[in-house]
Structure 1
């Protein structure tokens, strides 16, 4: 009898302790969500997020199924976990997406919608080995028009929905943001946008983004104190892009051990560049099969770019490996006042091995290795190139060696818009200080263009350069 009473008492005590234990996991299935790829689960997921945050935080769990949703907003202290085998996919109804902090981007399109967002949140995360898929192909004009007819939506809004396509993830004015392991796929616009955020960690995520136009991978916009590492990105537009669509700087960023592929540019500063870029390092990255430039450093809207270090970068099959441009476009965003022309200074690029595309596959044919240019009134500052090896197809002509490259100070800063350069190796123009050490340029076939063209470069310091196997003095 005593033994039974003790067992009963122990059971009661265990029950009471269990009831008092804090809840740590909010399973969206408990709120009515269905992973049947048909049910719209926005409200169920948002309720789980809200209750999780109100209780002090924890994990909102998505598991076992394919869950359709419109915009959900993360709240303080919430981790959204998508388990392996589970998918969160975007709704095909454009009316299911919210706009947060709207703005107009560099190509004049309205932005602000997203599948998963956060505004003024802190200590938030997305994790798990599952998939978040924006189904961006549904936002192409014909597919979207068909869907709107099916849903009996006002078809006069078609252009509005086409021009304001949802990002996949969008974090605005938030802090302590973490993304780990998750697979991000096929947004209708940018994949992952951080605006005026700080204390960011992106580790081990995978991005595949080719469903529509403007399919950037990761955009750090007026954000600071960020680490991006161990990521694999295959994007239709820029893979990792530093932006400033406000006068607030993007600064103190470390990128390392990433594998990057793009149809436009893999590592890019700009083109939206109102605020400064400073104290940014990129190391041990592999760039491959890129239809645009490998490294693009662009200040055209007033940004002062300073203390940029890139080291140990391997490139295979890229167009122009290195493009640096200081321009005078001076576009404004978010009703901010127009900035003065900016600057580019203290840029060091070291230990780079790059191979360009063949002639038939190059956007500019024949390609060149490096193009660096300021403007007549605003030269580039100090640029240092150390241990750079670039392999090119060659086959440029004597006529191409006579090309006069336009200034185009106020135009969109894209290397391909300048056309074929008179140099196959390096062209530098309007620069204050250029330091080159151990530069190797090799062409597969003879190139009748000049190996090096320097125009209005005030201070050149060359330790060693080798062009097609011969020592070369840059003058």
Structure 2
């Protein structure tokens, strides 16, 4: 009898050990999460994440319904899976979003709050065919005031110690606490990825990689029109990344390479994406302290984009080098290609101010673009290519090959006489420089510009020249 009891006890212990060691899924409902669109589930979901991490990793599952929450911080070896039919919905209370690695951006706004965050982690991911929705429309100044009154709360005040640069001149002289959380923010993390997830309506940027190494984005969709400055994907001082099969509809930049620190953004590949934007579809800058190097964007469709199809900007000291953009089709865009080197030299994260940067070894090829009609343009009449360095800092080698641009025309004889201002330290945007005396290519201050098999077609009359070059070799 004793042998039988001992045997049964041993079997029970082995079964328990095996069952514990093979657990792979942590369902948030087991930790008290409720999908009633009312309960704030932050603590329950965070506990599931923490327990998953302590056990060595696995999947934290969100399924069947809509779960309201504040900031969730991912941990190493944790996959947050939002299953198809499930929604992770952001709380409307600004105090539910603590800052993750806060900073002051170029406009003077305090940034860093986020819905889903990760800081100094490895092997974290967000997957599933469900939805993460930030309810960004509730974070306008007017709606925040309504929320504060309705909830009877006082807004938490951030600690700005060490964040405001002594040498900086922000776009706005006033430092503002906007209380607008990013949707997903990965900070100093390695081997992180997002797959298949639907990201919706952030209050600020949608997906931000800051100083990350080895990241992957595959098959996600983004819709971001709930607030202002709501970029879709920002690759910020990050390296070794792949973005593919993304479908983006954004009120601000769609895919944007940034450097809000002196560290570079390098070795990135973007392909097979469908991009729509109200400002820039494929953009480098404007925050640009660290260098941009070894970046390829290919095989993408850009449509209904008001601010620019391809924009390469160095404003704050970035050396932009070895950039390849190829096989891009653009429909209904405003500015097909804009390249600008200027001398703004803003500072972020209290770093040392950098000297003026450079743009060199840029290849843009196999591009077809149709510019939208003049009634919808911010700069009217438009120009196909707008390239400009400054008198003291020229663009380097720029190669444009096999490009066709269809334009609406509309330029007058008076437009043909325009002298474009230099505006060396102004925000680097084509609307700031204004209409050019060329409908096809306006280029100035370039050391080495090579164009081949480039054609411009007009749908209407244009009295300007096709090409104007000033101080160009």
Instruction: Give the deviation of 1:154 after TM superposition.
Output: 2.2
> Is 2:98 the counterpart of 1:98?
yes
Cα distance in structure 2, aligned partners of 1:316 and 1:425: 17
Q: Is the 8 A contact 1:217 1:237 kept in 2?
A: yes
CA separation of 1:69 and 1:308: change in aligned 2, threshold 3 A = same
Aligned to 1:57: 57
Instruction: Give the deviation of 1:397 after TM superposition.
Output: 0.3
> Is 2:392 the counterpart of 1:415?
no
Aligned to 2:145: 145
Q: Is the 8 A contact 2:367 2:402 kept in 1?
A: yes
Q: For 1:229-270, what per-residue CA distance to the aligned partner results, in whole angstroms no more than 9, with x for missing partners?
A: 000000000000000011100000000000000000010000
Equivalent position SS for 1:38: coil
Aligned to 2:259: 244
CA separation of 1:21 and 1:314: change in aligned 2, threshold 3 A = same
* Aligned counterpart for 1:329 among listed residues 344, 352, 369: 344
Cα distance in structure 1, aligned partners of 2:181 and 2:105: 13
CA separation of 1:156 and 1:227: change in aligned 2, threshold 3 A = closer
Instruction: Give the deviation of 1:193 after TM superposition.
Output: 0.4
Equivalent position SS for 1:335: coil
Cα distance in structure 2, aligned partners of 1:48 and 1:9: 30
> Is 2:62 the counterpart of 1:72?
no
Instruction: Give the deviation of 1:19 after TM superposition.
Output: 3.1
Instruction: Give the deviation of 1:20 after TM superposition.
Output: 4.5
* Aligned counterpart for 1:265 among listed residues 257, 280, 302: 280
Q: Give the unaligned 5+ runs of structure 1.
A: 459-475
Aligned to 1:472: none
Q: Is the 8 A contact 2:134 2:202 kept in 1?
A: yes
Aligned to 1:443: 458
CA separation of 1:306 and 1:12: change in aligned 2, threshold 3 A = same
Q: For 1:22-53, what per-residue CA distance to the aligned partner results, in whole angstroms no more than 9, with x for missing partners?
A: 21100000000001100000000111101100
CA separation of 1:137 and 1:268: change in aligned 2, threshold 3 A = same
* Aligned counterpart for 1:371 among listed residues 376, 386, 399: 386
Instruction: Give the deviation of 1:14 after TM superposition.
Output: 8.6
State the Cα RMSD in Å. 2.1
Kindly report which structure 2 residues correspond to 1:26-425, keeping only aligned pairs within 5 A, or say none.
Answer: 26-154=26-154, 163-425=178-440
Instruction: Give the deviation of 1:162 after TM superposition.
Output: 6.1
Aligned to 1:466: none
TM-score (structure 2 length as normaliser): 0.93
Instruction: Give the deviation of 1:164 after TM superposition.
Output: 3.3
CA separation of 1:160 and 1:433: change in aligned 2, threshold 3 A = closer
Q: Is the 8 A contact 2:211 2:238 kept in 1?
A: yes
